[in-house]
């Protein structure tokens, strides 16, 4: 009988919590605005099989990114030299990120806007959506063919699906097969409507041409990016923990890690395929705005 997805996801998260070791920080604390905001962004993009871009990074197809979604293990030009990059195509990312905690900029300087001096006049609530979305994507077969196995032998299991030992405390990585660009837009609420015009003017000064601020309905201020930014990346494969004993005849002593295709239909299928990996990403959290 197939294990229900909700139980399977909890089991997968529990396995990773034990194995990732002390360097991982579970990002569920409501007292940590960065963790809470990051989790909300991950939950939204999980519906599309994507990882949100929360730090200023020049991501490209073929890049090998660590599970925190920020740091590079290797660049695509090293591991996949000569890869033919596909052109950008229009995409649609319906819905929005509804969060009461703003911990990172998300392309709109949200952390600055929600700084201590602004807390008296702004509520900590934002509804974030994305417009003018485009993406450039490539398939697993093309990456597998283009991989320079001598330059990046450690990347082979990520595209070949070869089982490897899961080591405690080792942060997994993933290969980028798609990059999404778009214009973030956030709707925030002003606590004091009398200060609405002043807040719009103040936020507009912070934007300095990168994003605009206009008065919305009621007490709302609408912030919209004036430039297209990297907003998400797609892993070509996601990891699956293979239980102890599956490969007992080969003499394996512990659980194995096997990477499987992350291709999925947006919605329930992507949540099922990508959900356990989204939990792994949440666990490997660091402040995207601070250098390592």
What is the reported pLDDT for 26? 44
What is the reported pLDDT for 62? 95
> Which residues does 126 contact at the CB level (< 8 Å), separation at least 6?
97, 98, 99, 102, 110, 186, 187, 188
In percent, the amount of the chain with pLDDT more than 90 equals 38
The confidence band for 191, taking pLDDT boundaries of 50, 70 and 90, is confident
Please give the residue that has the higher pLDDT: either 109 or 262: 262
The confidence band for 245, taking pLDDT boundaries of 50, 70 and 90, is low
- Residue 274 CA, chain-centre distance (Å), reads 11
For the chain, count helices (H), then strands (E). 8, 13
The confidence band for 25, taking pLDDT boundaries of 50, 70 and 90, is very low
CA 36 to CA 256: how far, in whole Å?
Answer: 31
The mean pLDDT value for 248-275 works out to: 81
> Which residues does 107 contact at the CB level (< 8 Å), separation at least 6?
184, 211, 225, 229, 231
Asked whether residue 12 carries a pLDDT value surpassing 80, the answer given is: no
What is the reported pLDDT for 22? 38
The mean pLDDT value for 273-278 works out to: 89
Asked which of 85-99, 191-205, 256-270 is least confident by mean pLDDT, the reply is 191-205
What are the φ/ψ torsions at residue 35 (nearest 5 degrees)? -65, -45
Q: Which of 8-12, 116-120, 121-125, 164-168 is modeled with the greatest confidence?
A: 164-168
Left if phi > 0, otherwise alpha if psi is -120 to 50, otherwise beta: which for 189? beta
Measured CA distances, 227 to 108, 111, 116, 204, 215 (Å): 11, 19, 27, 15, 20
What is the reported pLDDT for 244? 54
The confidence band for 23, taking pLDDT boundaries of 50, 70 and 90, is very low
- The residue ranges of every structural domain in the chain are 5-283
What average pLDDT does the structure give for the chain?
80
| Residue 227: exposure state from Cβ atoms within 10 A (0-12, 13-18, ≥19) | exposed
What is the reported pLDDT for 95? 93
Asked whether residue 15 carries a pLDDT value surpassing 70, the answer given is: no
What is the reported pLDDT for 113? 73
Q: Which residue has the tokens 């579970």?
A: 26
What is the reported pLDDT for 266? 94
Pairing of strands 97-99, 229-235: unpaired
CB 199 within 8 A of CB 219: no
The confidence band for 120, taking pLDDT boundaries of 50, 70 and 90, is low
The mean pLDDT value for 130-159 works out to: 95
In percent, the amount of the chain with pLDDT more than 70 equals 78
The residue length of the chain stands at 292
What is the reported pLDDT for 97? 92
What is the reported pLDDT for 232? 95
Residues 203-239 have pLDDT tens digits of: 777 777 788 888 888 888 888 998 899 999 999 999 8
Asked which of 72-81, 108-117, 123-132, 190-199 is least confident by mean pLDDT, the reply is 108-117
Asked whether residue 39 carries a pLDDT value surpassing 60, the answer given is: yes
């Amino acid at each position: 009988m197939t294990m229900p997805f909700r139980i399977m996801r909890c089991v997968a998260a529990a396995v990773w919590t034990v194995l990732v070791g002390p360097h991982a920080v579970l990002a569920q604390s409501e007292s940590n605005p960065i963790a809470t905001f990051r989790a909300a962004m991950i939950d939204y993009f999980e519906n599309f099989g994507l990882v949100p871009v929360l730090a200023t990074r020049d991501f490209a197809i073929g890049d090998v990114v660590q599970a925190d979604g920020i740091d590079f293990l290797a660049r695509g030009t090293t591991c996949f030299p000569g890869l033919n990059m596909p052109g950008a195509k229009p995409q649609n990312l319906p819905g929005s990120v509804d969060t009461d905690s703003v911990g990172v900029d998300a392309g709109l300087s949200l952390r600055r806007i929600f700084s201590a001096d602004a807390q008296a006049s702004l509520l900590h609530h934002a509804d974030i959506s994305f417009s003018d979305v485009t993406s450039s994507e490539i398939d697993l077969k093309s990456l597998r063919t283009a991989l320079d196995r001598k330059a990046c032998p450690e990347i082979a299991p990520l595209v070949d699906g070869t089982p490897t030992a899961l080591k405690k405390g080792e942060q997994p990585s993933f290969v980028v097969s798609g990059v999404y660009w778009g214009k973030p837009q956030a709707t925030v609420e002003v606590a004091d409507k009398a200060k609405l015009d002043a807040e719009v003017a103040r936020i507009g000064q912070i934007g300095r041409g990168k994003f605009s601020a206009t008065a919305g309905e009621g007490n709302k201020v609408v912030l919209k990016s004036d430039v297209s930014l990297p907003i998400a990346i797609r892993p070509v494969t996601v990891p699956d923990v293979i239980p102890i004993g599956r490969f007992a005849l080969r003499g394996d002593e512990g659980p194995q890690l096997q990477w499987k295709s992350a291709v999925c239909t947006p919605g329930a299928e992507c949540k099922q395929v990508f959900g356990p990996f989204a939990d792994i990403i949440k666990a490997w959290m660091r402040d995207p705005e601070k250098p390592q």
